[in-house]
């Protein structure tokens, strides 16, 4: 089946940039999009198992030239052991199967129920998603894939708990993108595609096109809002086989 994208907004940056935002209703077309060179950067929650990353873990590892077990182990460390709110950044290596790809960001994520998400998210749990948390995670993700590694055509999957997506999360991601483009016009992406996950088709609780209906309003609100930076720490972790990952820690408290 052909891949169909539903265009829903174009973010106009203060530096004259324009970023097209689209939604893909199918959850199985990432390999197709990469094969046809329609994307060069991927953002996905680090949840392994029955999830978007779990489904494409081996494919993404091969595509970026990173050992599958190394990538999976770092994702599970970020979920079960890491107390910091951290993102994991991978760039294309010399052994990548697709040289068109530039960057992959694995995002920490909140759970559909208390205690079900990343260990680091538990201090942020409440009745509604933490806007401060999701905004800053998204901003850091765009800095990794676009700022550090130069990706211009992005694909976003499962940026939060797959069974409890909320429009507040969508608005945080889009606002972070708008602010990042305003501050970094030379590296602003030309397009961002948000992909539905399997929960969307199963029981309707996942990410939907309707969650993003307020994105166009960000163009009018842009003059009245700006990014407020928090402390960010970066470290590169390598193994003896040459695999590496950039660990980006977000710090609200020090």
| Separation in Å, CA 138 to CA 35, 86, 253 | 26, 11, 19
Nearest to 145 by CA among 196, 102, 208: 102
For 77-93, the pLDDT digits (tens) are: 999 999 999 999 999 87
| pTM summary value | 0.92
> What is the average pLDDT score of the chain?
87
Domains of the chain by start residue, with CATH:
5-251 (3.40.220.10)
Location of structure tokens 């030239």: 65
In this structure, is the dihedral angle defined by the CA atoms of residues 124, 130, 134 and 140, taken in order, positive or negative?
negative
40/99 Cα distance (integer angstroms): 9
What is the pLDDT, as a whole number, of residue 253?
Answer: 79
Question: Strand 231-238 and strand 244-251: pairing?
Answer: antiparallel
Q: Is the model's pLDDT at 75 over the cut of 90?
A: yes
């Amino acid at each position: 089946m052909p891949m169909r994208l539903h265009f829903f907004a174009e973010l106009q940056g203060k530096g004259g940039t324009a970023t097209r935002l689209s939604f893909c209703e199918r959850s199985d077309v990432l390999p197709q999009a990469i094969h046809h060179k329609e994307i060069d950067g991927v953002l996905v929650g680090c949840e392994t198992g029955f999830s978007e990353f779990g489904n494409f873990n081996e494919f993404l590892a091969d595509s970026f030239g990173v050992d599958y077990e190394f990538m999976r182990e770092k994702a599970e460390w970020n979920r079960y052991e890491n107390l910091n709110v951290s993102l994991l950044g991978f760039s294309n290596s010399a052994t990548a199967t697709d040289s068109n790809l530039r960057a992959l960001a694995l995002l920490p994520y909140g759970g559909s129920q208390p205690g079900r998400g990343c260990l680091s998210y538990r201090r942020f749990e409440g009745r509604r998603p933490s806007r401060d948390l999701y905004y800053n995670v998204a901003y850091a993700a765009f800095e990794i894939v676009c700022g550090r590694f130069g990706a211009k055509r992005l694909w976003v999957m499962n940026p939060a708990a797959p069974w409890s997506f909320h429009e507040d999360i969508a608005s945080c991601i889009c606002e972070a993108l708008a602010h990042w483009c305003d501050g970094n016009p030379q590296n602003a992406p030309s397009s961002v595609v948000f992909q539905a996950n399997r929960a969307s088709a199963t029981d309707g609780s996942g990410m939907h096109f309707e969650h993003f209906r307020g994105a166009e309003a960000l163009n009018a609100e842009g003059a009245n809002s700006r990014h407020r930076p928090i402390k960010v720490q970066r470290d590169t972790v390598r193994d003896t086989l040459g695999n590496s990952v950039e660990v980006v820690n977000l710090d609200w408290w020090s």
